Structure 1
Amino acid sequence: MKKFTLLFLLSGSAVFAQRTLTIEETVMGGRKYAPTTQTAQQWRKDSKAITYLSADFSTLFEKSAATSWKETTLATKAEFEIALKAKFSNDEFTLRTFPTAINWKSANTFETEVTGKKNSYKVIYDVAAKQIVSTVSYAIEAAHATIASNNNVAWLKGNNIQITDASGKVIEVTNDANAAIVNGSDYVHRQEFGIDRGMWWNEAGTQLAYYRKDETMVGNYPIINWNEREAVNKDIKYPMAGMKSEEVSLVIYDVVSGNKVTIQTGEPKEQYLTMVSWEPTGKHIFIGILNREQNHLKFNKYDAKTGAFVKTLFEEKASTWVEPQHALTFVPNNPNQFIYQTDFYGFNQMYLYNTDGKLLKNLGYKDVVVKELLGFDAKNTKINYLGTANNGLDKQLYQVDIKSGKTVQLTTASGMHMASVSSDGTMILDQYSNVTTPNEISVIDVKSKKATTLVKADNPFTGKVDMPKMELVTITSADGKTPLNGRIIYPANFDANKKYPVMLYVYGGSHAQLVNNRWMGGGGYFDYYMAQQGYVVFTLDSRGSDSRGKKFCDVTHRNLGVNEMADQMKGIDFLKSKAFVDADKIGVFGWSFGGFMTTSLMTSHSDVFKVGVAGGPVIDWKYYEVMYGERYMDTPQENPEGYAKASLLDKAKDLKGRLLVIHGAQDPVVVQQQSMNFIEACIKAGKQVDYFLYPNHEHNVGGKDRIHMYAKIADYFNVHLKK
Structure 2
Amino acid sequence: MRKLYILLFFIAYTSVTTLFAQNKKITLEEIYGGTFGTNGMERLESLQNGDQYTILNLDYTNRVAIINKYDYKTLAKAETVISSSDSNTIPFFTSYEFSKDESKLLLATEIESIFRRSTLGVFYVFDLKSKKISKISDDKIQEPLVSPDGSMVAYVKDNNIYIFNIISNTTVQITKDGKKNSIINGVTDWVYEEEFAFVRAFEWNSDGTKLAFIKFDETNVPEFSMDVYGSDLYQTQTVFKYPKAGEENAIVSLHMLDVKSANITAIDLKEPYYIPRIKWMNNPEFLSVQTLNRHQNNLKLVQVNAKNGKSKTLLEETDKAYVDVTDNLTFLKDDSFIWTSEKDGYNHIYLYDDKGKLRSQVTKGSWEVTNYYGYDPKADRIYFQSTENGSINRDVYSIRSNGKSKKRLTESVGINSADFSADFTYFINSYSSATTPPEFTLHLSSNGNKIKDILDNRELLVQLQDYNLSPKEFSTLEINGNELNMWMIKPTDFDANKKYPLFMTQYSGPGSQSVSNAWMGSNDYWYQILANEGYIVVCVDGRGTGYKGADFKKVTYKELGKYEVEDQIDAAKKLSELSYIDEDRTGIWGWSYGGFMSTNCLLKGNDTFEMAIAVAPVTSWRFYDTIYTERFMRTPQENPTGYDENSPFNYPELLKGKYLLVHGSSDDNVHVQNTMRMIEALVQANKQFDWAIYPDKNHGIYGGNTRLHLYTKMTDFIKLNL
In 2, Cα distance between the equivalents of 1:449 and 1:600? 46
Kept in 2: contact 1:38–1:52 (CA 8 A): no
Partner of 1:275: 277
SS of 2:417's partner is: strand
Tell me if structure 2 keeps the 8 A contact 1:11–1:467: no
Kept after mapping to 2: 8 A contact 1:503/1:538: yes
Match of 1:571, SS?
helix
- Counterpart of 1:139 in structure 2 is 137
Given that 1:193 and 1:323 are in contact with CA atoms closer than 8 Å, whether structure 2 keeps it comes out as no
Indicate whether 1:27 and 2:32 are aligned.
yes
Q: Is the 8 A contact 1:33 1:461 kept in 2?
A: no
- Look up the equivalent residue of 1:138 and give its one-letter code: I
The superposition leaves residues 15-73 of structure 1 with CA deviations (integer Å, 9 ceiling, x where unpaired) of 7512x2221233343xx32445543357665465676677979877887687xx5x644
In structure 2, relative to structure 1, the CA distance for the partners of 1:388 and 1:642 (3 Å cut) is same
Letter in 1 for 2:428: L
1:128 match: none
Q: 1:654, CA displacement in angstroms?
A: 0.1
Equivalence for 2:612: 612
1:113 is aligned to 107
Matches within 5 A, 1:153-232: 153-166=153-166, 167-176=168-177, 178-179=179-180, 180-187=182-189, 189-191=191-193, 192-227=195-230, 228-232=232-236
Q: CA deviation at 1:132?
A: 6.6
1:330 aligns with 2:331: yes
Residues 79-118 of structure 1: per-residue CA shift (max 9 Å, x gap) = 72354x1xxx5x35235xxx66666989x99956244999
Structure-to-structure mapping, 1:288-307, within 5 angstroms: 288-307=290-309
Distance 1:371 1:532 in 2: 35
**In the alignment, which residue of structure 1 is the partner of 2:656?**
656
SS in 2 for 1:466: coil
SS of the residue 1:394 aligns to: coil
Kept in 1: contact 2:281–2:287 (CA 8 A): yes
Report 1:432-511 matches (<5 A): 432-445=431-444, 450-454=449-453, 455-458=455-458, 460-464=460-464, 465-480=466-481, 482-511=482-511
Conserved 8 A contact 1:502-1:535: yes
1:717 maps to 718
Distance 2:342 2:689 in 1: 42
The AA in structure 2 aligned to 1:142 is I
Distance 2:55 2:262 in 1: 43
Secondary structure of 1:244's aligned partner: coil
Tell me: CA distance 1:713–1:47, structure 2 relative to 1, closer, same or farther (3 Å).
same
Report the residue type matching 1:350 in the other structure: I
CA distance in 1, matches of 2:165, 2:99: 24
Task: Give the distance between the partners of 1:41 and 1:297, measured in 2 at CA.
Answer: 34
| Equivalence for 1:407 | 406
TM-aligned CA deviation for residue 159 of structure 1:
1.7
CA contact (8 A) 1:506 1:594 kept: yes
Match for residue 673 of structure 1? 673
1:239 matched to 2:233? The reply is no
User: How far apart are the structure 2 equivalents of 1:10 and 1:523?
Assistant: 19
Question: In structure 2, what residue type is equivalent to 1:287?
Answer: V
Q: Which moved more, 1:643-652 or 1:487-496?
A: 487-496
Question: Deviation string for 1:664-702 (max 9, x for gaps)?
Answer: 111121112211111111111111122211111111111
Distance 1:612 1:319, change over 3 A: same
State which drifts further: 496-505 or 116-125: 116-125
Q: Distance in 2 between matches of 1:450 and 1:374?
A: 18
**Take 1:44 and 1:554, find their aligned partners in 2: how far apart are those partners?**
40
My pick for the range that moved more, 20-29 or 579-588, is 20-29
Alignment RMSD (CA, Å): 3.2
Q: Which one of the candidate residues 238, 254, 269 is aligned to 1:250?
A: 254
Tell me if structure 2 keeps the 8 A contact 1:112–1:124.
no
Q: In structure 2, give the amino acid aligned to 1:23.
A: L
Give the count of matched residue pairs. 691
Between 441-450 and 670-679, report the one with greater CA deviation: 441-450
- 8 Å contact 1:616–1:675 — kept in the other structure? yes
Higher mean displacement: 155-164 or 492-501 = 492-501
Write the deviation string for residues 541-585 of structure 1: whole angstroms up to 9, x where unpaired: 222123333222110001111111222234323432333322211
What is the aligned counterpart of 2:270 among 240, 244, 266? Answer: 266
Q: Is this contact kept in 2: 1:45–1:105, CA < 8 A?
A: no
Q: Secondary structure at the residue paired with 1:519?
A: coil
| Structure-1-length-normalised TM-score | 0.87
Deviation larger for 423-432 or 232-241? 423-432
CA contact (8 A) 1:159 1:183 kept: yes
Cα distance change of structure 1 residues 327 and 215 upon mapping to structure 2, 3 Å threshold: farther
Q: How many angstroms apart in 2 are the aligned matches of 1:120 and 1:698?
A: 27
Partner of 2:288: 286
Q: Distance in 1 between matches of 2:18 and 2:99?
A: 43
Distance (Å, rounded) in 1 between the aligned partners of 2:393 and 2:304: 40
**Deviations, residues 358-384 of structure 1 (Å, cap 9, x unaligned):** 112212242443333222326162222
Structure 1: 5+ residue stretches without partners: 126-130
Query: Do the aligned residues in 2 keep the contact of 1:10 with 1:459 (CA within 8 Å)?
Result: no
Matching residue's letter, 1:478: I
Cα distance in 2 for partners of 1:621, 1:449 equals: 46
Aligned equivalents of 1:237 and 1:477: distance in 2? 44
1:496-519 residue CA offsets vs partner (Å, 9 max, x unmatched) = 333222221111002432221122
Corresponding residue for residue 529 of structure 1: 529
Structure 1 segment 561-576 matched on structure 2, within 5 A: 561-576=561-576
- 2: CA distance, partners of 1:417 / 1:124: 37
CA gap 1:238/1:110 in 2 versus in 1, 3 angstroms: closer
CA gap of 1:608–1:323, structure 2 versus 1, over 3 A, is same
CA distance 1:370–1:17, change in 2 (3 Å): same
Whether contact under 8 Å (1:415, 1:434) holds in the other structure is yes
Question: Contact 1:501 / 1:582 at 8 angstroms: preserved in 2?
Answer: yes
1:429 Cα deviation from its structure 2 partner: 2.9
Determine the C-alpha separation between the residues in 2 that align with 1:42 and 1:243.
42
Residues 480-532 of structure 1: CA distance to partner in whole angstroms, max 9, x if unpaired? 1x332212122243333332222211110024322211223896332233223
The 5 Å alignment of 1:324-403 reads 324-326=325-327, 328-331=329-332, 333-334=333-334, 336-377=335-376, 379=378, 381-403=380-402
Asked whether the 8 Å contact 2:154–2:161 carries over to 1, the reply is yes
Given that 2:160 and 2:177 are in contact with CA atoms closer than 8 Å, whether structure 1 keeps it comes out as yes
1:504 & 1:512 partners in 2: Cα distance? 17
| Highest RCO, 1 vs 2 (Cα 8 Å, sep ≥ 6) | 1
Which residue does 1:708 correspond to in 2?
A: 709
On the 8 A contact 1:474/1:483 being kept in 2, the answer is no
Q: Give me the whole-angstrom Cα distance separating, in 2, the residues matched to 1:616 and 1:526.
A: 19
Give, in whole Å, the separation in 1 of the partners of 2:625 and 2:702: 23
Distance 1:113 1:369, change over 3 A: farther
Q: 1:501 to 1:16 in 2, by over 3 A?
A: same
3-state SS of paired residue (1:631): helix
TM-score using structure 2 length = 0.87
Shift of 1:595: 0.7
Verify the 8 A CA contact 2:104 2:125 in the aligned structure 1: no
Q: Counterparts of 1:522 and 1:400 in 2: how far apart (Å)?
A: 36
Asked if the contact 1:505/1:589 (under 8 Å) is kept, the reply is yes
